[in-house]
Amino acid sequence: MAKNSIDGVALITGSFAEAGARAIILADINEGNAQKAAETARKYASHPDFRTLIIGVDIADAESVQKMIDVTVKEFGRIDYAVNGAGSDECQYLMLCVRAEINAMLAQETRKITSRSGERDIGRGVILNVGSANSYAGLPAKMAYTVSKHAVTGLTKMAALDHAADGIRVNAVCPTWVRTPMVEEECRRNPTVMQTVEAIVPLKRMAEPEEIADAVVFLCSPSASYVTGTGTIIDAGVTLTVHMH
């Protein structure tokens, strides 16, 4: 994982380890996954006072999400980076509404913190949504999934416009297959998944989580201080061609 220079408090849903921050809050309905991500984050940590905090959260429950934000602010006094990575294959429309609500809640909290602490440094105040390559392309017989992923990019663009005046940048990363616990479970249930990956991914493999994390860290860092409202495709070239499989 690249050692980008970011300093601050990162709130991450979906057990997604991030490097370089002063503190990482890992919020997941599966606290075991969050613990594993925390261990990974500690390996890559570059800040001398690095801390992790694990919070159990159900992102489909507004009260649970608000509690996650409240605990984070009480413990660390601020949220500099929020990576909205938790997801599910179930009820895509509901998940989109939840993402929109989380974006709004995080932006509101960031504005409150900013009003108390004054001007922010350039590159601070970032919301990062996790979409998919299907945010830009379609899958046969996957209407709900594809429409919801397209909507993530729309949500990202509108949130970026709505919160630009507050100094909050909002972007998305849009990967294809990533070797996550959820995808590995899918591979165990359906051996043809890897055959599909090898057939249509030009690099003939899934992405490793660290490869997506590098893009996330860059978009959160001051190096991306002029980047907002974008969806960065991370797909090893999948969307470059038409697939006839």
CA distance 11 to 55: 10
The token duo for 44 is: 């890559």
CA distance 220 to 80: 9
The token duo for 68 is: 């996650």
- Which position among 44, 67, 136, 145 bears the catalytic label? 145
Decide if 145 is catalytic. yes
Decide if 157 is catalytic. no
- Helices then strands, counting H and E runs in the chain, come out as 7, 7
CA distance 152 to 96: 7
- Which position among 44, 149, 157, 204 bears the catalytic label? 149
CA distance 119 to 237: 40
Query: What are the catalytic residues?
Result: 145, 149
